[in-house]
A and B are shown apart, each in its own frame.
Chain A
Amino acid sequence: MTHETHPDIQAPVKTDIIGFLARFAPLIFLIVLMAAFAIGEPRFLTPLNLFNILRQVSIYGLLAVGMTFVILTAGIDLSIGSLVAFAGLVAAAVSKGGLSNRFNVGAGQEAASYGWYLAALAAIGVGLIGGFLQGFAITRLKVPPFVVTLGGMSAFRGAALLFAAGGPISGFEPNFVWLGQGRILGQVPVPVVIFLAFAVLAHIVLRYTRYGRQVYAVGGNPEAARLSGLNVGVVTTSVYVIMGFFAGLGAFVLAARLNSAEAVAGTGYELTVIASVVIGGTSLFGGVGTIFGTVIGTILIGVLLNGLVLMNVSSYIQQIIIGIIIVLAVAFDTFAKSRQRIA
């Protein structure tokens, strides 16, 4: 039986147009959207505005990078907004020189700071622990991710409220604040650099490492992954730990940007972040998705919101538009997949 004439071989799906569109849809949509806004509103396409958009999305972006790992395993994390608030408060308190000094104000008190790096470590530490606890509950106690992180959403928010004891923690040392508000090379906001650097790192991990391969495998078919000798429990737990890392990092950058941390910070972030990941083409059923897509999805939401603001569209209507776009993104994804399956 010769190679060439065998009927079972089909051309790789890549060549078909719908498959191509499905792959690059977010990017194409982003370009179209930017072109439309650029025509409608001259202020849109200025370097200042574009960097503003990137700065606005950089915290969502960091969280979305972590969320990509979680959704790749067909999981979900609803707790990130609350975890961001809690981790941000802990970072803020460390920066202010400890729990008892946390509400002190004034330049003299800033000298008592433990330094921004300890604050960052504290925020990331809180994130890692929070993520691990949730991952443990999901893999060992066998509670579905939706339920565990819904519980986490409430519990971390409660912890944040308890920790804040009513007021925001504000006024950090200049180095800390620079990480949220500063610019590199006079133009590029520091949070944008942090976001893109970690996005590149995450891309490398998912694309080129053994661990990344395992994430896709566990998400695509957990039983086959187990029977191939992968440790499904460890991989599943790890993605929540990674999510926790990014929640801690995001919390730190958010506190630095606002020069303040408060218990209601991060409310509703989970929705925007999950939307960014899904719009970027990552399948909620697991096993399919890229960091590149997530970055595009994040920027897409940022551009959309920014453009709507510039065009004076009410924030209520913005929410409606975002909601519709999420549903359409998933619908398109499902449609493209069903087309591929037939072909």
Chain B
Amino acid sequence: MAEPLLRMTLIGKRFPGVQALDDVDLEVLPGEVHALLGENGAGKSTLLKILSGAQQPDSGTIEFGGQRVTMASPHDAQRRGIVTIYQEFTLAPNMTIAENVFIGREPGLGVFVDWQKMAEETRAITTKLGLQLRPMSIVRNLNVAEQQMVEIARALSMKSRLIVMDEPTSALSSNEVAKLFRIIRDLKAQGLSIIFVTHRLEEVMQICDRYTVLRDGQLVGSGSIADTSIDDIIRLMVGRQVNALFAHRERTPAGDVALSVEGLSRRGNTQDQNATVLADVGFEVRRGEILGIAGLVGAGRTEMARAVFGADPFDSGRVIVDGREVHIRSPQDAIRHGIGLVPEDRKQQALFLALTVRTNLSMASHQQITRWGVFIDEAAERAMVEEYRKALNIRMASPEQLIASLSGGNQQKVTLARWLALRPKVLIVDEPTRGIDVGAKVEVHNLLYDMARTGIAVIAISSELPEVLAISDRIVTMREGRVTGDIKSEDANEEILMSMMTLSAKAA
């Protein structure tokens, strides 16, 4: 075996009340893609923060390129050739690609920037990555996948030897993931090492060479991907067997049509007045049914959900609830007609991070817990929280705990509870399991089944095809703002869905 590029030995890190890392080792070989795996709270991010110099370990050593080093700061780590690409991008949105790639290291004479050289070097890097991006394009106008490529271009321009990618695929569509993987293989061929953090284990099997699994701050396993299986890795991650990860459930027959949408259309987004956002979108969902919505990023799934919920305006179209047309101009209207939305970005769109679990949970249903129209009845509120804590198995120390201190899965359960408390007829869940760990995913799926069983019409948007296939009764596919198909999930598989999502003509 080659001498490792990176060797972190017996790393320990303690936070008040938590041993975040307990004698953890991590070895990355030159030219390999190394998967760093574990449930949320397992210690992955702490380990990466130590590697990138953002935090200092309490104990342990780091060797990089055969030398014992101390990562004093993120800048120090970058200088040594370790670049981290975070889930939340660190690009300056109003500057050009070239400026972002060379930010802080602009070529030129003294205070003057040599724009031509900067553009040329940027083009050289993007070409190497097989991208067709103009160096002078403004980053704001790029889509998420392209922005990520800019981050990678920046990492390459720094002559990095180790690139850490934290959940690089969570915001990408399958096509874009394939493109990213091609780039990762190129980088690998050039001798770079990559640490790959993801919740999608199929991707690990596809792209990674070796893996390290953490659980509760401890190293529980590492080895070669070729010698393992998804089931083995899951067993390591959760410390228990999760068989039938995405199990099909017993189907209950669906009832009457709860929601139908006809001719929903919208033109124009923030970047382009004439862009087609939604074009003649129509579908229906019945009581007790889970309708999956599949599509690549940019297919208009989230836009459709937000339009139906009144969060974004639409130009034309009809929304019919229980057989009657309703006019929805704001989320308040939608809620009045029994429609709820669990948005895709939990932190930005759903949670009040400075408030407690209790206040977060009751936020949409103040009406039920108000006395004399004015005062919050805290006893009733606590009872509501307790009811949903039990029903949804929300793991928390106290309802007075800040929501920010819960894990992603439990935060998502609180968000679901917020809507369940309203007893909606239709609940739209947008990427319900994004960024939450495997065990919690299964729990969220079960919650969706339970909701359907109680007669709620559930619309589930997901970028993970196995998930859509497993949880849905029926699946509608979208592409570029249009519905391209409608299929029963027992008749579908990943290949069929993928072709429906990429077809321009109506397949069904």
Contacts and interface: CB of A to CB of B under 8 A. Distances in A.
B217 A213 contact: no
A216 B352 CA distance: 9
B349 A227 contact: yes
Interface in B198-239: 216-217
A16 interface: yes
Nearest to A2: B395
B370 A210 contact: yes
Contacts, number: 113
A224 B311 contact: no
Contacts of A209: 374-376
B335 interface: yes
B417 to A, nearest CB: 12
Contacts of B309: 227
B65 interface: no
Interface string A3-33: 1001111111100100000000000000000
Interface in B336-376: 341, 343, 348-355, 359, 363-364, 366, 370, 374-376
A3 B389 CA distance: 12
A106 interface: no
B355 A6 contact: no
B332 A216 contact: no
B47 interface: no
Contact of A12 (B42, B400, B439): B400
A1 interface: yes
B418 interface: yes
A214 B370 CA distance: 13
Interface stretch (B15-23, B188-196, B281-289, B317-325): B15-23
A228 B354 contact: no
A220 to B, nearest CB: 4
Interface in A295-343: 341-343
Contact of B397 (A9, A220, A226, A341): A9
Contact of B17 (A11, A210, A225, A228): A11
A125 B169 CA distance: 57
B335 A229 contact: yes
Interface in A158-216: 208-211, 213-214, 216
A336 to B, nearest CB: 13
A190 to B, nearest CB: 28
Contacts of B396: 9
A226 B18 CA distance: 35
Contacts of B364: 228-229
Contacts of A223: 348-349
Contact of A221 (B42, B216, B353, B400): B353
A231 interface: yes
Given A10-B397, A211-B374, A216-B359, A343 B406 contact: no
A287 interface: yes
Contacts of B418: 228
B50 to A, nearest CB: 13
A229 B330 CA distance: 8
Given A11-B397, A287-B355, A343-B15, A217 B363 contact: yes
Interface in B236-253: 240
B402 interface: yes
A11 B405 CA distance: 8
A7 B17 CA distance: 11
B366 A210 contact: yes
B395 A224 contact: no
B413 to A, nearest CB: 12
A288 interface: yes
A229 B374 contact: no
Interface in B42-83: 42
A153 B395 CA distance: 50
B52 to A, nearest CB: 15
A141 to B, nearest CB: 18
B398 interface: yes
A227 B341 contact: yes
A221 B395 contact: no
B410 interface: yes
A8 B410 contact: yes
Nearest to B367: A210
A203 to B, nearest CB: 13
A308 to B, nearest CB: 34
Given A8-B406, A216-B355, A223-B348, A229 B332 contact: yes
A220 B311 CA distance: 18
A16 B18 CA distance: 12
Given A210-B375, A228-B418, A229-B332, A12 B401 contact: yes
A220 B330 CA distance: 20
A343 B363 contact: no
A226 B410 CA distance: 22
A73 to B, nearest CB: 13
Contact of B402 (A12, A208, A227, A231): A12
B9 interface: no
A223 B331 CA distance: 11
A7 B16 contact: no
Listed residue (B311, B348, B354, B366) with the most chain A CB atoms within 10 angstroms of its CB: B354
A226 B331 contact: yes
Contacts of A210: 366, 370, 374-376
Contacts of B311: 226-227
B40 interface: yes
Contacts of B355: 216-217, 220, 287
Given A8-B40, A224-B352, A13 B332 contact: no
Nearest to A9: B397
Contacts of A227: 309, 311, 331, 341, 343, 349-350
Contacts of A6: 395
A213 B374 CA distance: 11
B168 interface: no
B249 to A, nearest CB: 21
Listed residue (B331, B334, B404) with the most chain A CB atoms within 10 angstroms of its CB: B331
B41 interface: yes
B16 A16 contact: yes
A61 B401 CA distance: 31
A10 B41 CA distance: 10
Contacts of A3: 395
B352 A287 contact: yes
B332 A220 contact: no
A228 B362 CA distance: 10
B407 interface: yes
A13 B286 CA distance: 44
Contacts of B354: 216, 220, 283, 287-288
A111 to B, nearest CB: 42
Contacts of B375: 208-210
30 contacts: A1-B240, A1-B439, A6-B395, A7-B41, A8-B410, A10-B397, A10-B405, A11-B17, A12-B400, A12-B402, A12-B405, A13-B402, A13-B405, A208-B375, A210-B366, A213-B363, A213-B366, A216-B359, A220-B352, A220-B353, A220-B354, A221-B349, A221-B351, A221-B353, A227-B343, A227-B350, A229-B331, A231-B332, A287-B355, A342-B15
Q: Which 8 A-B pairs have the closest CB atoms?
A: A8-B407, A220-B352, A229-B335, A228-B364, A8-B41, A228-B363, A287-B354, A7-B216
Interface of A: 1, 3, 6-13, 16, 208-211, 213-214, 216-217, 220-221, 223-231, 283, 287-288, 341-343
Given A210-B375, A342-B15, 6 more contacts: A7-B41, A9-B396, A213-B376, A225-B363, A229-B332, A230-B332
